[in-house]
Amino acid sequence: MSVQPIIDHLQTLTDLHASLLQLSVQKTELLKDGEMDALRELLNKEQKHVQALNQIEQRRLDAVATWAKQHKLDSTITVSEMIEHHTTGAEREQLERVTLKLAELVVELRHQEDLNRQLTKQSLQFVQLSLDMMQPSMKTINYSNKQTSTSTQTPPKRSVFDSKA
């Protein structure tokens, strides 16, 4: 068996990762613009891509295990080991090229997703700050006469809105 099925699976993974990278870039723009409905739709597309990636990855693992079994090698062989020790010529070049392209896409996708994670975190911090500003602190509520407090008394719990106003 040649390594062509493995190369085909790696090429499919590369195409899916490139598409996922485009979705990630779109996600960045949606996060910046605050378009939640569009973001929700994009996350559904992203989830479908991830499921497809998992299926293709499993097929690739099966193809590598089959190739290794036919060549009487350990079934846990990696593509890097295949390139270094067990392929030659055009197959080796194709395998190197598609593996390198996939690795570059994964690194770029990680970078883009880190940016998205930071944007999401900042958005959540902004929302939390806005909520904190809307909710009055116990020190600023001054609806009643001052009471003497003792160490056994605890301050009454108050909601955001005082219904006795």
State the chain's maximal CA–CA distance in angstroms. Answer: 89
Is residue 160 within 8 A of residue 135, CB to CB? The reply is yes
DSSP-based helix, strand, coil % in the chain, nearest 5? 70, 0, 30
pLDDT-wise least confident of 36-40, 84-88, 90-94, 150-154:
150-154
Domain boundaries, given as residue ranges, for the chain: 4-132
pLDDT (0 to 100) of residue 89: 85
What is the pLDDT confidence band of residue 3, given thresholds at 50, 70 and 90? confident
Q: Residue 34 gets which letter from DSSP?
A: T
pLDDT tens profile 63-117: 999 988 888 888 788 888 888 888 888 888 999 999 999 999 999 999 999 999 9
Distance between CA atoms of 118 and 123, rounded to whole angstroms? 9
Is residue 7 within 8 A of residue 64, CB to CB? The reply is no
pLDDT (0 to 100) of residue 136: 65
Residue range 4-132 in CATH 1.20.58.300: yes
Please indicate whether residue 105 or residue 122 has the higher confidence score (pLDDT).
105
Global pTM reads 0.74
Q: How far from the centroid of its chain's Cα atoms is residue 80's Cα?
A: 25
Q: State the average pLDDT over residues 2-30.
A: 94
